[in-house]
Amino acid sequence: MSYLLEVNRLRKFFPVRGGLFNQRTDDFRAVDDVSFALQAGKTLGLVGESGSGKTTIGKCILRLLEPTAGQILYDEQDITHLKQRELRRLRSEIQMIYQAPAASLNGRMTVGQIVSEPLWIHESLKGDAARERVLELMHVVGLKEEHYYRYPHEFSGGQQQRIGIARALAVQPRLIVLDEPTSALDVSVQAQILNLLQDLQDQFGLTYLFISHDLGVVRYMCDEVALLYLGKIVEVAETEVIFEEPKHPYTQALISAIPEPDPDLQREEIIIQGDLSHNFPQKGCPFAPRCHAEKLATCETIPPPLVEVDRAHQVACHLHPAMPVAAT
């Protein structure tokens, strides 16, 4: 099976400094040994609490942050250590749509200038040809021709996000990293943007890495889900498998908190005790201090590896040993 994106043992550490001379005293492990793969035309959801490392992974993939270790393969090409000049061509194939649309748009540029800028940078397209392409993109995302000369502050949050989507589509990308693209929008507008993203994926054959903390949105948008906790993936499976048969205690707690209108289908809510903290014992499971399940002796002494416990279902938990290999 071929993948458009493969991430192998990705790590991103940030130095922690202190003392009289501001020396490096420790590392903040934002992303720690993360691996996953994404097929072309599919959507993978990265889910976790704030501080779990979701956005950091996205920025490492785009090389907006330099990975500390690991490997990133795009279309079977290792892009982990590409120089900036070599990355320039890649920028047109991998784009990002940001969480806060207003903050990601230049307030001194009109919509026409914002959407045409990547055309000029990557394709040297100017003048009438650029304007024609921009108007076509604006139509695709639901903006009107009269919006061409307006500035971002003249639009609602949903319209600003449509501008960001048009800008990302301008260079005909294959992979788009969506960093919580609807979390800053009203619920009714969220649905419009999500439907637009699905329509664009079908129309242009796009591949999405969908970063979110909203499990309802993830279930609606994603083909596969990877759960993150403190920079580590704790469970990966197809979306419906995650929601119907969660195996990791962290996943079970998150799923149990989803409101269910049918009383007969409601799960007993699992309350996660304590607060999210990066100061966990590095030698054990990062979720052990907050875990509701009956702990094993190994939970606080040995980090659980991410293993396959069922077909295409991976879990990092000592309660779920690896699936035995069939004899050949």
Euclidean distance between CA atoms 288 and 302, whole angstroms: 11
Helix, strand and coil percent figures for the chain, each rounded to 5 = 35, 25, 40
Considering only residues 284 and 19, tell me which one the structure prediction assigns the higher pLDDT: 284
Q: 145 vs 261, which has greater pLDDT?
A: 145
Interatomic CA distance for residues 311 and 294, integer angstroms: 25
Question: What's the rounded Cα separation, in Å, for the pair 210 and 207?
Answer: 10
C-alpha span between 105 and 64 (Å, rounded): 17
Question: How much is the average pLDDT of 108-120?
Answer: 94
Q: What is the distance between the alpha carbons of residues 277 and 298, in angstroms, rounded to a whole number?
A: 20
Residue pair 310/323 in contact (Cβ under 8 Å)? The answer is yes
Residue 252 near residue 71, CB atoms below 8 Å: no
From 55-69, 119-133, 158-172, the region with the lowest mean pLDDT: 119-133
Q: Are the C-beta atoms of 31 and 54 separated by less than 8 Å?
A: no
Closest of 161, 143, 164, 149 to residue 112, by C-alpha: 149
CB 97 within 8 A of CB 176: yes
Residue-wise pLDDT for 267-315, tens only, equals 778 888 877 766 655 688 989 888 988 889 899 899 999 999 988 899 9
Separation between Cα atoms, residue 12 and residue 34, nearest integer Å = 10
- Whether the per-residue pLDDT at 326 is higher than 60: the answer is no
What whole-number percentage of the chain has pLDDT above 70? 95
Q: For residue 186, give the nearest of 164, 148, 159 by alpha carbon.
A: 159
Segment 127-148 shows an average pLDDT of 94
Q: Which residue has the higher pLDDT, 219 or 17?
A: 219
- The conformation of residue 212, written as its DSSP 8-state character, comes to E
Could you give the angle at the alpha carbon of 30 between the alpha carbons of 290 and 182, nearest 5°?
A: 85
DSSP letters spanning 221-243: H-SEEEEEETTEEEEEEEHHHHH
- Taking the C-alpha atoms of residue 180 and residue 212, their distance in angstroms, rounded to an integer, is 5
Model confidence band, residue 328 (pLDDT cutoffs 50, 70, 90): very low
Buried b (16+ CB within 10 A) or exposed e, 228-262: bbbbbbbbbbebebbbeebbbbbbbbbbbeeeeee
Exposure of 159 in the CB half-sphere (CA atoms within 13 A): 12
